[in-house]
Chain A
Amino acid sequence: MAMYNKRRFDKRYLFILVVVAIALVLVVLAFSLQKDRDLNPIEKVAKDTITVVLKVVSAPFNFVHDTVDSIIEKNNLYEKYKELKNKEEQIDSVVSQNDNLRDEVNKLKDTLNLNTILSDKVYMNATVVTRNIGYWYDEVTIDKGSKNGIEKGMAVVNPKGLVGQITKVSNYSSTVKLLSNENMSDKISVKIKVADKYVYGLISQYDSKTNTYTVEGISENVDIEEGADVVTTGMGTIFPSGLMVGKVNKVTTDNFDLSKVVEVQASVNFDDLDYLTVLKRKTE
């Protein structure tokens, strides 16, 4: 009889324990997944340590990876050379044009008494240390942190376009939330180039199967061409203006036929991120 009582107590005890554990997990998870949470000192130290450790341990793997890459690249060296030569011939004129334009922008800024414009930015390069561990979080860790001048909320790009945003910073590493995360790509203000003017819209969702964004809220009655560039506006969000987001894939209208819904092919391949650039918008 005593045994029986004891077992019953154990089971009830276990049940309470499980319920408490689930409640605790939910509370902790809801707290820890907040987008604007600061890391506590212990987490900062842990993150810095693992960044250093992983950099050291993965060095030989990286070496092999780079060697294989360079061997593959050597195969079509001649075609690359031809292509680059073609581009090089055009580059002189582009550079002079660029200089001219920059000069003009500076002059106009002076006359308007502007210190900064929305597209001003400062660059910082970083290497990816871990990618999307835990599968659901759509985050990568990079090897630069607050000691290198990185702050929460900065935009992260690679040569092809906008990748994401810094969400957590420790001393020597930081976490980048990718745009492929549905919470991240929500309500980013973008503009689409039509002829020689822009139409404005908001990114409403990302589809990982086709690597496309959906842009909504375009009410203007203009014909948007397929293949038109989609860039950030620099309004509302912390992203500087003029960052490449993608190219227009398909244009449809919404359920009520009132506004246009544009499918945008993302310019960034989220599967393949090795080196990233962090941008800081100049404010002063």
Chain B
Amino acid sequence: MKALILVISFLLEGIVSNFVPINGFFAPLFTLIALIIIYPLFDEATEYYKYAFVTGLVYDLFYTDTIIFHAIIFCFMAFLISKLNLVLSDNYVNVLVIMAICILIYRIVTYGFLVLVSSVSFDFIALIMSVLKSLIINLIYSVIIFFVVKRFQKKSKYKF
């Protein structure tokens, strides 16, 4: 179930990227959203980190050609998500809050690293825009996937 959601989100990110304008107002980040939504399904923290690491590694290999960069970033995001889940309970509004914080930090961290290796030059407006652009489409996706997960959870009576 967890792996299935991750795989579907991962593939959808690739497909949706093909139908939205390249620098337009929608930037899909479905893999990260899936990581946020599936957090309550895990019993052990280490298992969750393993999933995050492997997902990041696959993301590197398949999409961005950056060897291990996203694997480490996703592990860091997993750490952040687990810390945020300690203070926020598992309902939809809180998922939205976590999502917004995660997208913000994810964009800042990746942009920060890319600026540090001087792959892009620093542009504050571009950074803010990238966060805004990612919010809308990912919000819609998170609604869908959140309620799908909740339904399955109820059906199988919390047995995962």
Using CB atoms and an 8 Å cutoff, list the residues of chain A in contact with chain B: 21, 24-26, 28-33, 39, 42-43, 46-47, 49-50, 53-54, 57-58, 61-62, 65, 128-138, 140, 168, 175, 178, 180, 182-183, 208, 270-273
Interface residues on B, range: 35 or more
CB distance from B50 to the nearest CB of A (A): 16
Contact (Cβ within 8 A) B113 A133: no
Does B143 reach chain A (CB closer than 8 Å)? no
List 3 tightest A-B contacts by C-beta distance, closest first.
A271-B21, A46-B61, A50-B62
Q: Give bound CA distance, A75 to B58, whole Å.
A: 43
Name which residue of chain B comes closest to A37, CB basis: B65
Cα distance A32–B66 when bound, in Å?
A: 5
Which chain B residues lie closer than 8 Å to A49 at the CB level?
62
CB distance from B113 to the nearest CB of A (A): 6
Establish whether residues A29 and B66, one from each chain, have CB atoms under 8 Å apart when the complex forms. yes
Q: Smallest distance from the beta carbon of B78 to chain A beta carbons, Å?
A: 13
B117 in contact (CB, < 8 A)? yes
Residue B41 lies at the interface, judged by CB distance under 8 Å to chain A: no
Is the pair B65, A53 in contact by a Cβ cutoff of 8 Å? no
Give, as a whole number of angstroms, the nearest-CB distance from A147 to chain B.
19
A136→B65 contact, CB < 8 A: no
Known: A33-B119, A182-B121. A58 touches B18 (CB 8 A): yes
| B116, B117, B130 pick with most chain A CB within 10 angstroms | B117
* B24–A271 CB distance below 8 A: yes
**A25-B113 CB under 8 A given contacts A54-B11, A133-B13, A272-B21:** yes
**Set of chain B residues within 8 Å of A132, measured between Cβ atoms:** 17, 22-23
